[in-house]
Every structure is written in C-alpha cells, then in structure tokens.
Structure 1
Amino acid sequence: MNNNALLNQLLTGILILDDRLTIRYVNSSAESLLDHSAKRLLGELFSAAFYHCSLASETLIECLNSEQTVLNAEVHFALHSGHDIRVETSIQTVDQEFGRALLLELKQVDQLRRINQEDQQRNQLFATQHLLRGMAHEIKNPLGGLRGAAQLLARQLPDEKLTEYTDLIISQSDRLRYLVDRLLGPTKRGESKLTNIHEVLERVVRTLTYEYGESLKLTRDYDPSLPDIRVVPEACEQVFLNIAQNAAQAMSGAGTIVIKTRVEHQLTLFGLRYRQCAVVTVTDNGPGIPAELRDTLFYPLISGRAEGTGLGLSLAQNLVHQHKGKIEFDSSPGKTRFSVYLPYLTADNGNEVMDDH
C-alpha cells in the first residue's frame, strides 16, 4: 500500500500543497469535511478553493520557507456549498516527488463532541432496551393473570350489569399490554430490499396531508440522484412518520415541514466509515424543543405534550439503529431539524441491514 493509499484510510482530513500553494493531494476525509470532491479541489490554489478561509496564504508561505510546524490552530472555512466549519489545523513541511510541500491535517472542532454524542446515543439505546425487556416481563405476566382472573370472575357474576367492571379490567389490561409491546418495538425483523426512499417519504406525506389537511404545509426538497438503498421500507416509513408527526404535533398541526434528501460521502457513524449515506432531514418552524427535554428526548415515555406517550422518537431511534444508522437533531425557537443518516451497506461493512432484537 503506497503512502497516498494509507493517507486515504485516515479519519483526519489531509491536504498537500506545493510551493505555490496549489492543492496536490486530497484524502477522502478531507473531501467529506470540505464538501468537495478531490477532482474539484486538485489543481486549485488553496486560497481559491473556498469562499473564505481564515488561514492566510502568507502564513502558509512562512511555514514552508521556515519549515515551521503549526499545531492545532483553529481555522474558519466558508465553503462554496454555503456551509461554515471550524477546523483544528496542523501544518508541517514534507518532501514530495515534486519538491518541498505542506501537509495540512484537518479535524473538525465539533468532531469529538459528535463522537461523544454517538457513544451517548448508543449507550442510551442499549440501556433503554435492556431496561424495557426486564420491565416488559415483570408487567406482562401479572397483566395476563389479571386479565384471566377478570374473565373467570365475569362468568361467575350473578348480575350482568357488573360485567362492565370486569370488561373495564380486561380492556385496560389489553391497553397496557399494547403499550408495553410498543415500548419494545417490532419483535420481527422485516425484509430488507432495494428501496426508493422518496416513495417511502411520499407515503408519509400522504398520511400527514390526510391527517392535517391544508393547515400543515409540506415542502419537498428531494435529490433526484439519490440511489436506491437497501432498507426495510415499512420500518423507514415508521421512522419518518414518527418524526414528522412529532413536528406537526409540536406546531398544533399548523406550520411548515420541509423534507429534504441528500447523499453524503465518506461519513463515519459509530466508528464505522461508509462511502455513502442517504440523509433525510425533517425541519419544522415550530417553537423548538424545550432545553430540559433535549438530553432525554429519545427515552421512552418522554414527551413535551401532556397527551403524548413519548414512544414515537424512541421507536424511531431503535429502527434507525437496526439499519446501522443514526438520528441527530438541532433545535431553536422557530426551527427544529431531525437528520436521519442511513448508510449504503456493502460487503466491506456488512450487508445485513437489520439486526435481531
């Protein structure tokens, strides 16, 4: 494996500049971080490759001439794609076949925070599922006995009018059992198949339109080049419906929801790197998520609404994790966005989409 192939395996972004500050090498992580392909960046002057960069050309020339090393300098990039990123940048001189060069190591400042969030999300999911399985066993067994006793009692009651009370016990036992089953999520693995994610989203749009009518404005921003993805379509429909319904309910059914699809390249999810991920974002213009709910938002039975069960997002997170994906959100008054990342799985990182419960 040559040096460039090794650099391409790094999770740190790498740029190599020649003595004229022309970009001569870009690894995959830098492509993802800077939101540009190597084809687009190679041969560009560093100063022209971005809309704005706080790292001055004079600083780079000085580093090259004096062979000075810069460690962990924070640099602001305004990308042509419209994104702004803060990057921890280290600079050192290296020898290349074309002469003396600069090697830039780029790490997104919030990358560590993102990794910590992923770890927290994964641990939260495992702990929740373990707790729920234990609770389900302890709750469902007494419920079965309670329901059976009510049925036996109903047969012995001399007054038929009294059976309304045993019927109430039976119906409430069934309701609690259904609630416990929903907490656990689906017990059977669905069949994964190549799926057009836009067809799944259109079913969600139709459901919301039927439920809320014209008071809810639904805007689509689909990427027509999005490749089909191997998923369980019914599970994905449930995920997007739960997220979108949450948004609609937060706005009392009157507001705007934007559903957007894109492809992201060279994305790392839970320590595994994927060449491509489908990204579906659901954005609303509602009041935002209360600060006190944000750390526990995906826990079951956590809801910002008095009438809410708090099951929708917990179930959505569980289903997305079964697809080896991830849910993120950011929220402020007037804008809440949920982002669902679904990797395109290959033989290199596993071709099983759903994991057993």
Structure 2
Amino acid sequence: MSKADKILRVTDPQRLPAGLRGGVVAIGNFDGVHRGHQAVLGRALAEAKATERAAVALTFEPHPRSVIRPDIPLFRLTPAPMKASILDRLGFDAVVEMPFTRAFAEQSAEEFVTRILDGGLGVSHVVTGVDFHFGKDRQGGPAYLMEAGERHGFGVTLVDAFRDEGAEIVSSSRIRALLTDGDVAEAAGLLGYRFTVEATVSKGRQLGRTLGYPTANMALPADTDLAHGIYAVKFRRADGTLHDGVASFGRRPTVEEDGAALLETFLFDFTGDLYGETCRVSFFSFLRGEEKFDGLDPLVAQMHRDEEEARAVLGKAVPLSPLDRAVAFPPD
C-alpha cells in the first residue's frame, strides 16, 4: 500500500510547493481517518475538484492530546505514515503534518489563521468539522473561523458530525474502545476499511518454524491497545503483494512467562524471508482470545483450527468500500 504513495508530506507550510499553495485545506487530527473524517475530507476533495485547486490536509503531529496530557497513554489508530497513505488513497495531493508543541498550543487563534492558513498555505478554502477549535484555550471556533475567512479572503465549510446507521456519532475514541475489546469487525464498519497496522518484520525465537507455523514478527507501538488474541488477517508486503494469514497479538503465555506484546502472522501458502521488510497487517475477524495451553501439542492443534477458521473467514471477505479495497485487498 505504501509503495505507490504519491502524496507529498511536509512539516512546514512554507515548504509546500507553489503549485499546491492556494488550495482547499481540510483541517483536523484525523486519527483513524474514519467515516466521520471522510465526510470532512470528501467535502474538501469535492471543493478542490470544482475549483480546480489542490487538495491539502492539515493535521498535527504528534497527536495534540499526547502533548497536552502526556500522562495518559493514547492508542494511535493511524500513525503519520499510515494516515498519509490513506489520505493518498482518498485523493489528496499533500498533507501538512504540523509539529504540535506546547509553544504551538499557546499561539492565539488569529496567529494560527495569519501564520498557518493565510501566510503559510495561502488557503482558498477551509473545510473542517463543526467541533474544530484552535488557538490558545480553544479560543477559535466555527464562528471565529467564518469571520476570519471573510477578513482574509478564504471560504469556509463546516461539516456536521457524522452519524452511523444507528444514529451514533462516529469518533476515534469509540473505535479505540471497540479495538480494545477485539471487535475489529465493528471497528471496520466505523472506519470504512479494515483496521491496519504497519511495522518492520524482525527476527524472533523462530519457535513457530519448528512447529510448522513460521511467523512474521512485528513489534507494534507500546500504546497499541488492541485486544490480545488470534485474528484472521491480510498481510501486505513492502512490494504490495498481499497474503491471507492468521495472526496472534499478545504475550505468548504458553512459551514465555512475561514476554512483550508482539504481532506474529502466519502467512498461508508462503515461503520466503521477510526480515527487515516494513509490512502491513489488516484485521478482518477476531477468532478467539489469547490462551495458555498445557504444552506445545495442544497449542499446535489449536493453531490448525485457527488456520482453518481464518481461511474460511477470509475466503468470504468482500471490500467494505473503495478505500477498503485499496487498503486491504489485492490490486485489480
């Protein structure tokens, strides 16, 4: 998925090429780039197409909450590279990953408009959610942004909160809670695509190889609060090729007393060396929770059952959306 990414990623608005200045800018944290975010992003893309201007996303790194409340761990749904790749698939030309620091948080709302939107990006139009606030003490809100747009000469579109089929607002926190419970299927319904992680394949103890189940081992960020257990997954290599598989995320209680959480994926019908590759894993179904078995024989027997179930699940899987097809399915 990342090999073909064309989106430009910059951290300084001043480094945006002249051809992308004066574009339509969607503003938000966009952690997860879920269906609610896609409602905002879609409006920006439509405006950019109608006015024949560049489509740019303005987001913040790290996530503002991790700076404002560093004592509370934050489960990031889409770290910057993943977020940029999804924005690329949606059709954005560039993403400005604005460094979020305490000093940045202290600037006034007018400084944000003058320095970032007007002077830095030269925006022609801004699209954001109705709950977007900015500037010190959140002094800038929807009314302020509309008024600032009139003064600085750019248009503003505010998008209402997006609700799912059950009339509940789709939010990143709601998706995090589902993933913490292992409900990757429900989370996918809110994301609009299968939850996907990215990491480099590292060498492990190679115990799986001796059991007939060699795995690609990936250490995920420490704040990844995904439920420990067994999942049916699709595994995308760095070259874009895709493989079905079954993955375990957890601490491997049968073979280790106190191991660090690790994602271990067994790729179906695959032989080869993946060490050092940065790969992605998309989660389709939660099969069962993590268990401690009384020895390796019952563990292997259960692994056979897990493989059969995962093959059955993945054999019936269909894309949830064009974005899901791009993220979690083979290219056409």
TM superposition score category, shorter chain reference? under 0.3
Of structures 1 and 2, the one scoring higher in RCO (CA 8 A, sep 6+) is: 2
TM-score normalized with structure 1 length? 0.24
Structure number, greater radius of gyration: 1
TM-score normalized with structure 2 length? 0.25
Which is richer in strand? 1
